[in-house]
Structures are given as C-alpha cells and as structure tokens.
C-alpha cells in the first residue's frame, strides 16, 4: 500500500509553490491530470501584483476591496498584500527572472482598477510560462502526470488520501495530508480562457462529501478575449494592454465604455465585461481592441507572446484591431477554507490557489492578484500543515470505486450542452428565469445515464446556480437583470 506524507493535487502556481516549501525529507507526491503545463498558471499573461513597499499596502488592499465590491475578508486581503513583498523576494532570490529596465530595476505595469503600477511581469506577456517553468525546475518532489483524481478518501472528519487513475488504472493512494490545488471551473463554460484540464472535478467531490463551497455565484469574466477560434481555450488579450493604453472600440471606432463607467477601459473587470456584453447585445455591433497607438517595435518587445499567437490567427499587431468578447476567466469562489487553507471539519485536508475560497477576491478579483494569492496562501497552508504533526494511524478501507465508470457514451454531448447553458444562463448577465431554467436542466442531466466525471461537474454547476439564485441583488460579477435595474 502506498502512503505519502503529503499529496498535492495540481501542478500550477499554488501546487508547485506548496511543493517548493515542503522539505525534501517528506514523502510528497505532486500530481496533475495531463502534462504539467496544461494549467491556468502557464497561460497567465499579465503578471504578479506586489505592493511596491510597505506604504503601498493600504492602497493595494483598498483597490482589492473596491474591485471585490467590499465582499472580501479584509483581514485576509491584508495578509495577501503584506506578504507580497517577501513572497516576490523569495522567488527572485531562488532564481525567478522578471523583466527589468537597463539598470536592472523591476519594471511595473498597471492593470484595470489598480491605483498604481504594481504588477511585475516576465518574458513581456508570458509571466505564467516563466513562473511555471521556474517552479517546475525548483520542485524537489516527485511529480506524476496523467493522473486523474476521482475521489477523496474521507471518513469521520478526516482525509486519508485519494482515488485516481494512473495511466487509466484505478489506484488508491493514502496520505497524512492532501492539498487541493486543482484550479477553478473553466471547462464548465462554453467560452473560457482556461486550460482544458480545469474542470471542477474536485469541487464536485467536495459537494458530494458535504464540504462547503462558498461565493460560487461570483464567476469572473475577462473582458478582452478572442473567441473566434475552434480551440476550447479562447485567446486572452491581457489587461496590461488596456493598462498601457489600448482602447475598446466599436465598428466606427467609438470608445463606448465611458457610457458604463467614467474610468472607461480602466474600470474593474466586471464592469468592462458587462459593458462590452451589453453594448454588443444592444447595438448588434462588433467590439474590438484597438492597439494602433502602440509603436510596432515597442509592442513586439513588450507583448511577444500575443504578437506571435495572433500572427498565427492572421492578425498583424498592433496595426490590426482584434474582435473581442468577454469569456469566463476565473472562479472568485471555491472550496471554503480559512487563511491557512484548512478545510473546516476535515482533518488533513487543505485547499490553495483558485480552488480555494479564502475571501481575498470578494465578489470580483482585482487583476493579477491570483498568482500572488496562489503563492502566499500555499506557503501559509504548508507552514501550518508542517506544524501539525498529523499522522494517520489507521487506514480505513474505501471499497466504493468508480474507476470503470468515469465516462459514459453520451457524456461528451451532455458536457457540450452544459457549457452552453452555463454561458447563456449563468454568465455575465443573469435573470431569475434563466437561472431556474439552468437549474432544471442540470437536475435533468444528473438523472440520466452519465459517468462520474460529468456527475462531478454537475455537482459544481448546481452549486453555482444555487448560489446565484440565493443572491437576489447584483454584486460584483454576479449581475441579476431585473426590469427596474440599469447596467
């Protein structure tokens, strides 16, 4: 029987930074569903927020709270911001290279709803790739790919490990501690910017075990995404473009976002997304990101990843304007935990990164806070876990297995229908009628012949729709359209 000190589910920023902070002497297994770079960290473009110095902490906290519609847990936001300086210092000391000017000083950019330029970046617009590569190279523990977790071993208030397929073979793996770092829920939505591996399975297991999900009505949509591609993952155009001067325009070149907020393109992400969505719906016009104010040479240097990606799609940047739409980007809510990643009521179970609901993001995440959150709270969880001396002395048997019924014949078609209904009814603008329609649809699917993985997705979808139905008033990314409400 295999038993580990720690199993970490997920190899994005939170999972890998947790691994980096656990001593080599511990028996640790990091697992990921596919190849390790199929994770949201890898696709992150903009950068990592860091308070500029101690004096900038209150402003960063206020920007985070204002973007989050003050639904955030302030104490936790303060931890995020105060810890940002030591966290970025730590990774730089360990060898992470960020973009600097000719004198070696860090370059900072600004994104929407930040009151200061406080975002550091790497490889221009390839921060996620650089960070992921750096963390993969620093992970001292064994990483197993192609491992799909389909159950958590939970009995009488404690977690004993996981069930997973390893190269399609079902296995039971025991551990004293399990850290969930499996990301958000992107694959539930028709249009999304997420890696295809991010499909809410672990959230669904938590629902099944009675572990609380929190703030699930707050799903975040990124305003500037190129969706005209058959790929499941739609192509992001980083917030940093608008932060550095790009405009959102209609067919005639009109910058209409000022009709929605006096900050125009620099309003918070929820407002910009809703403005674009509403303007398209109202006018039937197309909406574009206009980059023509950038000098080509400077643009290619600063945004090399976007330049190349869009060249492959037939766009010459910055000269060509790019048609854009909002698309699902990030789950502000997630598995409930405290500021040490502890899942209440389940000994030995932790959650970090996008999978976690720490309370940092409130009703809408401030741009580029997520990589920072992944690191700050992964380290806190690991420090706490290591202080606990938590050893499973008994090994209960977990006989129920689903290894052979993960998929059923019609699942693919049902998943597609689910993605469509999530986008249409539990998307940027919601109505009570639409939410009820989605709830009934999900309920109906749950009662069909479906495999376990779809069942888990549906559990998470139910948690989102139920949370959305419970919140009667609009807040942050949760926007309920009522007759008397203006956008």
* Positions that interact with ligand SIN (CB under 6 A): 45-46, 238-240, 329-330, 367-368, 370
Least separation in angstroms between CB 485 and ligand SIN = 27
Q: How many H helices and E strands in the chain?
A: 14, 19
Q: How far apart are CA 356 and CA 243, in angstroms?
A: 28
Q: Give the helix ranges, DSSP H, for 237-363.
A: 239-243, 269-283, 296-302, 304-311
Least separation in angstroms between CB 360 and ligand SIN = 12
Residue nearest to ligand SIN (CB): 46
Question: Strands 3-9 and 169-180: what pairing?
Answer: parallel
Q: How far apart are CA 425 and CA 87, in angstroms?
A: 39
Q: Which two tokens stand for residue 297?
A: 């040479």
Least separation in angstroms between CB 80 and ligand SIN = 13
Least separation in angstroms between CB 326 and ligand SIN = 12
Q: How far apart are CA 277 and CA 256, in angstroms?
A: 12
> Which CB atom, from 370 or from 477, has the smaller least distance to ligand SIN?
370
Q: How far apart are CA 322 and CA 291, in angstroms?
A: 8
294: left (phi over 0), alpha (psi -120 to 50) or beta: beta
Least separation in angstroms between CB 121 and ligand SIN = 9
> Which CB atom, from 428 or from 445, has the smaller least distance to ligand SIN?
428
Given 118, 233, 269, 302, which residue is catalytic?
Answer: 269
CB 237, CB 289: distance < 8 Å: yes
> Which CB atom, from 334 or from 434, has the smaller least distance to ligand SIN?
334
Which residue's entry shows tokens 């980083």?
A: 238
> Which CB atom, from 274 or from 415, has the smaller least distance to ligand SIN?
274
> Which CB atom, from 240 or from 428, has the smaller least distance to ligand SIN?
240
**Would you give the end-to-end CA distance of the chain in angstroms?**
57
Q: What are phi and psi of 221, to 5 degrees?
A: -115, 130
CB 183, CB 434: distance < 8 Å: no
Q: What are phi and psi of 219, to 5 degrees?
A: -95, 135
With a CB cutoff of 8 Å and minimum separation 6, the contacts of 310 are 226, 235, 317, 320, 322
> Which CB atom, from 72 or from 368, has the smaller least distance to ligand SIN?
368
**Rg of the Cα atoms in the chain:** 22
269 an active-site residue? Answer: yes
Q: Which two tokens stand for residue 28?
A: 């640790």
User: Beta partners for 478?
Assistant: 475
Least separation in angstroms between CB 46 and ligand SIN = 3
Q: Which two tokens stand for residue 413?
A: 């078609």
> Which CB atom, from 10 or from 184, has the smaller least distance to ligand SIN?
184
Q: How far apart are CA 347 and CA 363, in angstroms?
A: 28
Least separation in angstroms between CB 370 and ligand SIN = 5
Which residues are catalytic, by number? 269
């Amino acid at each position: 029987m295999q038993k580990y000190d720690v199993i970490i589910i997920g190899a994005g920023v939170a999972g890998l930074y947790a691994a980096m902070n656990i001593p080599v002497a511990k028996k640790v297994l990091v697992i990921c569903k596919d190849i390790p770079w199929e994770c949201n960290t890898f696709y992150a473009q903009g950068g990592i927020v860091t308070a500029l110095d101690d004096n900038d902490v209150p402003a960063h906290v206020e920007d985070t709270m204002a973007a989050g519609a003050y639904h955030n847990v302030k104490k936790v936001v303060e931890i995020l911001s105060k810890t940002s300086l030591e966290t970025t210092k730590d990774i730089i000391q360990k060898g992470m290279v960020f973009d600097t000017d000719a004198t070696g000083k860090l370059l900072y950019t600004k994104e929407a709803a930040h009151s200061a330029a406080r975002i550091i970046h790497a490889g221009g617009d390839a921060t996620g790739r650089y960070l992921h590569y750096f963390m993969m190279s620093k992970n001292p523990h064994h990483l197993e790919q192609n491992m799909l977790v389909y159950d958590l071993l939970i009995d009488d208030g404690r977690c004993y490990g996981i069930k997973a397929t390893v190269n399609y073979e079902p296995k039971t793996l025991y551990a004293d501690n399990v850290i969930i770092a499996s990301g958000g829920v992107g694959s539930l939505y028709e249009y999304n910017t997420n890696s295809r591996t991010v499909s809410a399975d672990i959230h669904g297991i938590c629902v099944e075990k009675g572990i609380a999900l929190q703030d699930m009505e707050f799903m975040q949509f990124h305003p500037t995404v190129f969706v005209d591609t058959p790929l499941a993952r739609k192509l992001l155009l980083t917030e940093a473009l608008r932060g550095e001067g790009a405009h959102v325009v209609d067919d005639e070149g009109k910058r209409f976002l000022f009709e929605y907020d006096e900050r125009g393109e620099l309003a918070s992400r929820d407002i910009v997304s809703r403005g674009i969505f509403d303007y398209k719906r109202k006018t039937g016009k197309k909406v574009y990101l206009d980059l023509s104010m950038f000098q080509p040479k400077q643009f290619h240097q600063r945004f090399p990843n976007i330049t190349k990606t869009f060249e492959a799609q037939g766009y010459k940047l910055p000269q060509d304007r790019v048609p854009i739409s909002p698309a699902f980007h990030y789950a502000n809510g997630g598995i409930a935990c405290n500021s040490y990643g502890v899942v209440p009521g389940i000994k030995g179970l932790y959650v970090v990164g996008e999978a976690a609901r720490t309370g940092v993001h409130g009703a809408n995440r401030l741009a580029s806070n997520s990589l920072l959150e992944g690191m700050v709270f992964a380290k806190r969880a690991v420090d706490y876990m290591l202080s606990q001396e938590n050893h499973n002395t008994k090994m209960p048997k977990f006989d129920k297995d689903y290894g052979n019924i993960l998929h059923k014949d019609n699942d693919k078609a049902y998943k597609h229908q689910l993605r469509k209904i999530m986008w249409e009814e539990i998307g940027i603008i919601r109505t009570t009628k639409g939410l009820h329609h989605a709830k009934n649809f999900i309920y109906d699917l749950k009662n069909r012949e479906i495999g376990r993985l779809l069942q888990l997705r549906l559990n998470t979808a139910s948690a989102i729709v139920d949370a959305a139905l419970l919140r009667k008033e609009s807040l942050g990314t949760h926007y309920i359209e009522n007759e008397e409400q203006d956008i």
